[in-house]
Structure 1
Amino acid sequence: MLATLIHYFLHLLFPGILARIFWSKIWKNAWLILLSTMLVDLDHLLASPIFDPNRCSINFHPLHSYYAFPIYVILFLLPKTRLIGLGLSLHMLTDGLDCFLQGL
């Protein structure tokens, strides 16, 4: 239960806190961009079953792979794609934390 609360806090509320702190003038738009990076989870549709609470998504789904991570970091380093890269990187860190908490 605690892991689920942490997961959704990090996916939904923490990006809003970051947006409010670092992009205060446009924080609502920044938060929406950060939230939109959750579309990366569409790669879960390729798995069977689509959702398995005991499965570690890191390196299981294509957009959650070790090959994708450097691309997300590069996006973060470029000013025009910084929010997208941040959102994707935070998403992977959150999912990685889930794997750690599951003991995988």
Structure 2
Amino acid sequence: MFQFAIHYGLHFGLPLAMALIFFRKLWIRAYLIMICAFVIDLDHLLASPMFNPNRCSINFHPLHSYYAIGVYVLMLLPKFTRIFAFGLLAHIVSDLADCWLM
């Protein structure tokens, strides 16, 4: 239960904190864009089984790979993709915390 609370607390709380800190004037829009970064979990559909509570997502699923994370870091550079990149990286940090708690 602790791991579940930490995992989903970070998934929703970290983007909220980032939106309030870095994008104060448009925090609601920034938060919603960052939540849209959950789309990277679609790569779980490629795994068998789709959900395994004892599996670390980082570097297992294609959109959670180290290469993908590098692309997400590069996406911080253009202003056009910055908010979405923050959401992607917040998602990766949340999944990483989940891996550490296993």
Q: TM-score, normalised by structure 1?
A: 0.91
- Residues 1-104 of structure 1: matches in 2 within 5 Å? 1-102=1-102
Equivalent residue pairs, number: 102
Deviation at 1:17, TM superposition (A): 2.2
1: distance between equivalents of 2:101 and 2:38? 20
- Percentage identity across aligned positions? 52
Deviation at 1:47, TM superposition (A): 0.6
Q: Which amino acid aligns with 1:72?
A: Y
Any idea what SS the aligned residue of 1:68 has?
helix
2: distance between equivalents of 1:16 and 1:93? 14
2: distance between equivalents of 1:21 and 1:72? 20
